[in-house]
């Protein structure tokens, strides 16, 4: 363990033990030809990824006592784990543990689908962005499928001008791939149309379009569907996700997996961060 002063985003010993086996197994499969083990401990590499996600800083602005961009992103680690799916393996391992702790089966029978359009930073390639005409947001569209606990089952990142139907179909394909044997029902909002329902039927998933109550004014939480809104709110606590800064949509999706991995390690170790309201009450 490093002797540096810890950051709030660092993994504790207990949290690191949850994901260390996956990282160690990956490292064993990718040994250097020269036998060199690298200048940084793997735990510090993960801490650097989590620090960046939580604070929103650029790779080049990582603190000097954390692994730098050349070690954390290039060649290995963030980019490699994004491309070979290691970030998803870690995420799925923790998701199953959280569900088991809640006395649920590893995979859900019901999922909730929704999209969120976010502004793209200036350096994001124009070819991967667009203007959401309904929300007037220039950038990208994140699509999530979550279970009733708010845990992420599937992620897609598209240009913001892509219709919700395309996002819904892509999410259903991922749901069928990752949890298709158990998922029976998917709830979607009014932005999704018949194409999503038909596609879901072809996958053996009953897609239900949840209509808003005509009497409701403003934001009215809907039964079960509010869980996906809660998950979006949790993700925004990770400042890297307030906007889409990533050049590749796959990097944006990886950010979602890492953010939820961070959340789940804290849940599994009962280390939830106090809210500002709690802190205000203590100081009163």
CA-to-CA distance for 280 and 284, rounded, in angstroms?
6
| Average pLDDT of the residues in 269-278 | 66
Q: Is the pLDDT of residue 278 over 70?
A: no
| Percentage above 70 pLDDT, the chain | 88
Q: Please say if the pLDDT value at position 222 is more than 90.
A: no
Q: What are the E-state strand segments in 78-233?
A: 110-119, 130-132, 137-146, 152-159, 185-188, 206-209
pTM above 0.75, yes or no: yes
For residues 80, 18, 267, 176, the Cα torsion angle rounded to the nearest 10 degrees is 50
Helix locations, 137-248, DSSP H: 164-179, 194-202, 226-236
CA angle 193, 222, 253 (to 5 degrees): 65
Instruction: Assess whether pLDDT exceeds 80 at residue 90.
Output: yes
The whole-number pLDDT of residue 184 equals 95
Confidence of residue 277 (pLDDT cuts 50, 70, 90): low
Query: Domains in the chain, start-ordered, CATH in brackets?
Result: 13-83 (no CATH), 106-244 (3.30.420.10)
- With a cut of 70, say whether residue 218 has pLDDT above it: no
The mean of the pLDDT values for the chain is 89
pLDDT above 90 covers a percentage of the chain that reads 73
Q: What are the angstrom distances between the C-alpha of 191 and each of 135, 163, 168, 197?
A: 12, 8, 10, 12
Residue that wins the pLDDT comparison between 191 and 218: 191
Give mean pLDDT, residues 234-239.
Answer: 95
Lowest mean pLDDT among 34-38, 168-172, 178-182, 259-263: 34-38
- The arithmetic mean of pLDDT across residues 99-123, rounded, is 95
Write the pLDDT tens digit of every residue in 40-86.
Answer: 899 999 999 999 999 999 988 999 999 988 888 865 799 999 999 99
CA nearest neighbour of 3 among 39, 34, 41: 41
Q: What is the pLDDT of residue 35?
A: 56
**What is the predicted pLDDT for the residue at 81?**
95
Provide the pLDDT for residue 178. Answer: 87
Best mean pLDDT range from 32-41, 136-145, 185-194, 220-229: 136-145
Q: What is the mean pLDDT of residues 147-162?
A: 96
**How confident is the model over 255-266, as pLDDT tens digits?**
999 999 999 999
275 has a pLDDT exceeding 60: no
Whole-number pLDDT of residue 283: 44
Q: How far apart are CA 151 and CA 264, in angstroms?
A: 9
Helix, strand, coil proportions of the chain in percent (round to 5)? 45, 15, 40
Question: What pLDDT score was predicted for residue 210?
Answer: 84
Place of tokens 């990582």: 62
| 135: confidence class by pLDDT, cuts 50, 70, 90 | confident
Residue 52 in 3-state DSSP? Answer: helix
């Amino acid at each position: 363990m490093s002797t540096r002063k810890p950051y709030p985003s660092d993994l504790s010993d207990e949290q690191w033990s949850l994901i260390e086996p996956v990282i160690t197994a990956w490292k064993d499969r990718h040994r250097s030809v020269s036998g060199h083990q690298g200048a940084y401990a793997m735990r510090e590499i993960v801490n650097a990824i989590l620090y960046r996600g939580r604070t929103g800083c650029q790779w080049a602005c990582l603190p000097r006592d954390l692994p730098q961009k050349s070690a954390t992103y290039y060649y290995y680690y963030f980019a490699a784990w994004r491309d070979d799916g290691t970030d998803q393996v870690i995420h799925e391992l923790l998701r199953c543990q959280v569900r088991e702790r809640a006395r649920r089966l590893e995979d859900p029978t019901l999922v909730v689908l929704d999209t969120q359009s976010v502004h793209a930073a200036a350096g994001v390639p124009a070819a991967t962005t667009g203007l959401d005409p309904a929300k007037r947001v220039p950038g990208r569209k994140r699509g999530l499928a979550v279970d009733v606990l708010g845990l992420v089952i599937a992620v897609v990142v598209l240009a913001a001008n892509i219709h919700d139907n395309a996002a819904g179909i892509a999410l259903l394909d991922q749901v069928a791939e990752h949890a298709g044997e158990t998922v029976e029902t998917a709830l979607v909002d009014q932005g999704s149309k018949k194409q999503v329902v038909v596609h879901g039927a072809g996958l053996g998933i009953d897609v239900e379009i949840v209509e808003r109550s005509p009497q409701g004014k403003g934001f009215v939480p809907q039964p079960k569907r509010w869980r996906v809104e809660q998950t979006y709110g949790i993700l925004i606590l990770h400042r890297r996700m307030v906007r889409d800064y990533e050049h590749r949509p796959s990097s944006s999706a990886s950010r979602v997996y890492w953010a939820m991995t961070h959340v789940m390690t804290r849940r599994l170790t009962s280390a939830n961060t106090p809210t500002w309201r709690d802190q205000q009450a203590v100081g009163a």
